[in-house]
């Protein structure tokens, strides 16, 4: 497989999965996720996949500041219904990183390692798109991407419809791909630590 070079520049996420440890799937349950893993799951690299990966990465690290983040240890609440917009795509990437799954998720072994119903949807009352909550202590992080702060190149406005309708030349198609992944690269590399793009903050317990 040959991915764009910037994939290797995106920070990886190291987690500890108790289920992986219990079943001997990985030594001590340690798993390492890269942006390429999210791309392979989704089948493509785009701002939505990039934002889901970045927000999941940042939320897990914020929730576990003193230790390795625990995969399977969080619940995720979504502002929008599962079928609205790109919510389902985001949810699938977050399952990869956190272990939190929907109704079809793993039911556990002897009451442990449950992943089922750890994603819930349609909570318009919450301030931001996502809320991650540690199951063991109730601490929560809310998160949302501001993708408009890293806009697409203006040239995309004319290239995209030509590519979709099969009217683009070979050079135009190559240029479209370059600009598309260029925006993703800016999001994940140039703006990884940009708080104007990634809003990730603790939820006050008084709410």
Residues 17, 42, single domain; the answer is yes
Q: Hunting for tokens 């919450």 — which residue is that?
A: 126
Residue 6 included in any domain: no
Residue 114 has pLDDT above 60, yes or no: yes
Is the pLDDT confidence value at 206 over 80? no
Establish if 4 belongs to a structural domain. no
Both 95 and 46 in one domain: the answer is: yes
Q: Determine, yes or no, domain membership for 88.
A: yes
- Please tell me whether residues 69 and 111 are part of one structural domain: yes
Domain that holds residue 169: 151-190
Same domain, 167 and 109: no
Residues 65 and 156 in one domain: no
The whole-number average pLDDT for the span 82-87 is 96
User: 155 and 93 share a domain?
Assistant: no
| Mean pLDDT value across the chain | 96
Q: What is the mean pLDDT of residues 131-140?
A: 96
Domain count, the chain: 2
- Tell me if 3 is assigned to some domain: no
Q: What is the DSSP string of the chain?
A: ----GGGGGSPPEEEE-HHHHHTTSSGGGEEEE-HHHHHHHHTS--HHHHHHHHHHHHHHHHH-TTS--BTT-EEEEESS-TTSTTHHHHHHHHHHHH----TTS---BTTBS--TT-EE---TTSSSSEEEEETTT--EEEEEE-GGGSPPPTTHHHHHHHHHTT---HHHHHHHHHHHHHHHHIIIIITTT-TTTEEEEEPPTT-
The predicted pLDDT at position 44 comes to 97
Among 197, 207, 90, CA closest to 141: 207
Q: What is the DSSP string of 53-101?
A: HHHHHHHHHHH-TTS--BTT-EEEEESS-TTSTTHHHHHHHHHHHH---
State the pairing for strand pair 130-134/140-145.
antiparallel
Average pLDDT over residues 176-186: 98
Pair (22, 94) in one structural domain: yes
State pLDDT tens for residues 7-40: 999 999 999 999 999 999 999 999 999 999 999 9
Instruction: Supply the pLDDT for residue 204.
Output: 79
Same domain, 101 and 159: no
Task: Tell me the per-residue pLDDT of 136-164, one tens digit each, with 9 for 90 and over.
Answer: 999 999 999 999 999 999 999 999 999 99
Both 164 and 128 in one domain: the answer is no
Residue 205 has pLDDT above 90, yes or no: no
Q: Are 45 and 104 found together in one domain? A: yes
| Res. 207 pLDDT band, cuts 50 70 90 | very low
Whether residue 66 lies inside any domain: the answer is yes
207 in any annotated domain = no
60 and 156 belong to one structural domain: no
* Token pair in block for residue 94: 């977050």
**Residue 79 shares a structural domain with residue 128:** yes
Question: 1 pLDDT band (50/70/90 cuts)?
Answer: confident
């Amino acid at each position: 497989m040959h991915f764009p070079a910037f994939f290797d520049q995106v920070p990886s996420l190291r987690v500890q999965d108790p289920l992986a440890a219990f079943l001997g799937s990985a030594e001590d349950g340690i798993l390492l996720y890269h942006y390429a893993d999210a791309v392979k799951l989704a089948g493509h690299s785009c701002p939505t996949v990039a934002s889901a990966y970045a927000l999941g990465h940042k939320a897990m690290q914020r929730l576990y500041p003193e230790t390795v983040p625990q995969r399977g240890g969080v619940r995720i609440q979504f502002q929008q219904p599962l079928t609205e917009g790109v919510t389902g795509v985001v949810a699938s990437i977050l399952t990869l990183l956190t272990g939190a799954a929907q109704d079809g998720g793993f039911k556990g072994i002897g009451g442990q390692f449950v992943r089922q119903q750890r994603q819930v949807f349609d909570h318009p009352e919450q301030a931001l798109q996502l809320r991650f909550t540690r199951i063991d202590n109730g601490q929560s992080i809310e998160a949302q991407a501001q993708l408009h702060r890293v806009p697409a190149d203006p040239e995309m406005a004319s290239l995209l419809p030509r590519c979709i309708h099969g009217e683009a030349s070979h050079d135009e198609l190559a240029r479209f791909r370059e600009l598309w992944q260029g925006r993703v690269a800016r999001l994940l590399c140039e703006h990884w630590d940009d708080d104007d793009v990634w809003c990730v903050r603790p939820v006050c317990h008084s709410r």
